[in-house]
A = this chain, B = another copy of it.
Amino acid sequence: MSGDVHAAVAARLQSADGRYTSARRRLVEVLAAAGQPLTVGDICRDSGLALSSVYRNLGVLEEAGIVHRLAGHDEFARFELAEELVGHHHHLACSSCGAMTDVRLPPDVEAELDRALSRLARKERFAIETHRLDVVGRCRTCASTGG
């Protein structure tokens, strides 16, 4: 949506010798508009692109650090804009329908968690890159409908 995101994407793609084609722009628009991880089915429907093009370009965008692939609780992979573009955050993951919603921790909690994980990684000689925190449970709709 905002030109900031598109400019950042264009820059990242160029340094990875790729073009910011209309197909790739549409993928970024769809992901930005959703504001939460989407399945390939969602992305195909919203973008109107061919299945193979969706997969190929998601791969290109992931390679360039623009898109992030994550595994849900169902059989489908989900895609979202990378944290470098939308900021660090976590997810509410519904164990019933598989939906994922973006959520952010209070900065002080996030900071203490980072410190604890750094200590832990140093002790295990593990070169930490990031962390992923999913809150697993029933989403609002599934909890009320008992689905």
Contact indicator B101/A124 (Cβ below 8 Å): yes
Stretch at the interface among A12-20, A31-39, A42-50, A132-140: A132-140
* A109 contacts partner chain B, Cβ-Cβ < 8 Å: yes
Q: How many residues of A contact B (CB 8 A)?
A: 32
Question: How far does the Cβ of A117 sit from chain B's closest Cβ, in whole Å?
Answer: 6
Known contacts A121-B92, A133-B133; is-contact A140 B116 (Cβ 8 Å): no
Q: Which of B92, B126, B139, B140 contacts A135 (CB 8 A)?
A: B126
Q: Which of A76-114 contact B (CB under 8 A)?
A: 92, 95, 101, 103, 105-106, 109, 112-113
Copies of chain A in the complex: 2
Contact indicator A135/B121 (Cβ below 8 Å): yes
Contact indicator A130/B126 (Cβ below 8 Å): no
Which B residues are CB-close (under 8 A) to A113?
109, 113
Q: A interface vs B, CB < 8 Å?
A: 71, 92, 95, 101, 103, 105-106, 109, 112-113, 116-117, 120-121, 124-140, 143
A-B contact pairs, 15 of them (CB 8 A): A71-B71, A92-B121, A101-B124, A101-B126, A109-B112, A109-B116, A112-B112, A120-B135, A121-B137, A124-B140, A126-B135, A127-B137, A129-B138, A131-B133, A133-B134
